Chain A
Amino acid sequence: MAYALVLVRSARLSLEAFAQTTSTHPDLVRRLVALGVLDADRDAAGELWFAPSQVAVMGRVQRLRAGLGLNYAAVGLVTDLLDRIAVLEAALREARPPGR
């Protein structure tokens, strides 16, 4: 079985659509934006808009909270650290001389 690359929808999600997609309450989503855990753009009317990539971020937030019992502020710290580790690991992989 071969797998094709999947095109990610580039359309932004409104707060309600985002909350519905991730099965969360809009109030929680707003709180996570305020905590800097989720990234969102604010339009002229003050409405929040989310990039589709934030759906995966929300999944990670929910798993970390459910699996490790972290509060949302701690989840923010952990996701930042995980992102930094990912960047460092990628740099380390590039620095490792390949094919030698």
Chain B
Amino acid sequence: MPGGPRADRRDFYEVLGVPRTATQDEIQQAYRKLARQHHPDVNKDPGAEDRFKEISEAYDVLSDPQTRRRYDAFGPDFRQVPEDVDPEAFRRSRAGAGAGQADGPGGAGGFGAGPGGDFGGINIEDLLGGIFGGRGFGPIRGADQETELELTVEEAFQGGHRSVTLDGPDGRRTLDVRIPAGVTNGQRIRLAGQGGRGSDGAPNGDLYFVARIAPHPRYRVEGRDLYVDLPLAPWEAALGTSAAVETPRGEMKVKVPPGTSTGKRLRLRHFGLPHPRGNAGHLYAEVKIVVPAKPTDEERRLFEQLAAVSTFDPRRR
């Protein structure tokens, strides 16, 4: 029901965060502060537009002492109440209307709102002129919005679809976002026309999803390159071996040359994240020598033997 009164409409004083006794100066001060904070061009969050609209509505009513008095007397439905109604009579008639009816649409105790929240042909959107419309401004394109989209390394690698639910002016909406394969951290995915609403028929803004690659238990990501630990036993590192490495494309064998120390990177060319218009990144297996925490007697004996025989000093300069 666009433009009609919303059942969940908050109290205007609450919206501006001021007490009912606030002075006009305090109301203006609160509004200015909130408007700067939630203006859709300052705050890219998709929820900011609604909040800004709510703040503007509240200010429109409370900034004018006369409408404010009517709002105080008759509540959120004050626009339905004719100018000459006595607040006391209104309160009495409302109390008499019965609890079941009082809060429903058109429940203003017999003052006759039209169906569907249309107040005798006057639509509240027309009164307020939308958020940016009717104050001498023509149709204005909606603001672009931005929200973060957390992706797994696997999603960034393969691409795919993701259902994202966002709160909007017409309730929650679910968008199907196509994630291109090879999306990198910080890249923006655009959904044309899904941003802030344009006023008076002007086009909507765009909605941008900013990709954020979530921490992964195995892979570290730098641009399109992936890094993965390759744990080796001391003898594998010393003698060389062939070891299995997990990659997003599946398990791969890498040849570890003899004499490989911790920190050495073995490159798997183009096994990183794909590039839609170029070469894929690389995958680097970083060697990490690991010793048995509790060696068997035999292992200990052999290590001791090696220690006695070897002249290798890793700290020699």
A47 CB-CB contact with B under 8 Å: no
CB-contact partner of A99 in B39, B132, B141, B153, under 8 A: B153
Q: Which of A1, A22, A59 has the most CB of B within 10 A?
A: A59
**Are B141 and A59 within 8 A (Cβ)?**
yes
**Are A98 and B141 within 8 A (Cβ)?**
no
**Are A56 and B190 within 8 A (Cβ)?**
no
CB-contact partner of B141 in A2, A55, A66, under 8 A: A55
**Are B202 and A23 within 8 A (Cβ)?**
yes
How many angstroms from the CA of A59 to the CA of B144 in the assembled complex? 10
In the complex, what residues of A have CB within 8 A of residue B56's CB? 67
Residues of A within 8 A of B (CB-CB), count:
29
How many angstroms from the CA of A5 to the CA of B310 in the assembled complex? 64
In the complex, what residues of B have CB within 8 A of residue A90's CB? 186
Which stretch, B84-92, B213-221, B283-291, touches the partner chain A? B213-221
A14 CB-CB contact with B under 8 Å: no
CB-contact partner of A59 in B186, B190, B192, B202, under 8 A: B202
> Which residues in window 193-215 of B have CB below 8 A to A?
193-194, 198, 200, 202, 205, 210, 212-215
**Are A99 and B216 within 8 A (Cβ)?**
yes
Name the distance in Å between A16's Cβ and chain B's nearest Cβ: 15
**Are A67 and B194 within 8 A (Cβ)?**
no
**Are A67 and B138 within 8 A (Cβ)?**
no
Residues of B within 8 A of A (CB-CB), count:
46
In the complex, what residues of A have CB within 8 A of residue B191's CB? 3
How many angstroms from the CA of A6 to the CA of B208 in the assembled complex? 13
> Which residues in window 1-41 of A have CB below 8 A to B?
1-3, 5-6, 22-24
In the complex, what residues of B have CB within 8 A of residue A43's CB? none
**Are B137 and A93 within 8 A (Cβ)?**
no
**Are B142 and A59 within 8 A (Cβ)?**
yes
**Are B202 and A63 within 8 A (Cβ)?**
no
**Are B219 and A99 within 8 A (Cβ)?**
yes
> Which residues in window 43-100 of A have CB below 8 A to B?
55-56, 58-60, 62-68, 82, 90, 93-94, 96-100
**Are A94 and B185 within 8 A (Cβ)?**
yes
CB-contact partner of A1 in B35, B176, B219, under 8 A: B176
Interface residues of B (CB under 8 A from A): 35-36, 39-42, 52, 56, 131-132, 135, 137-144, 153, 161, 175-178, 185-186, 190-194, 198, 200, 202, 205, 210, 212-216, 219-222
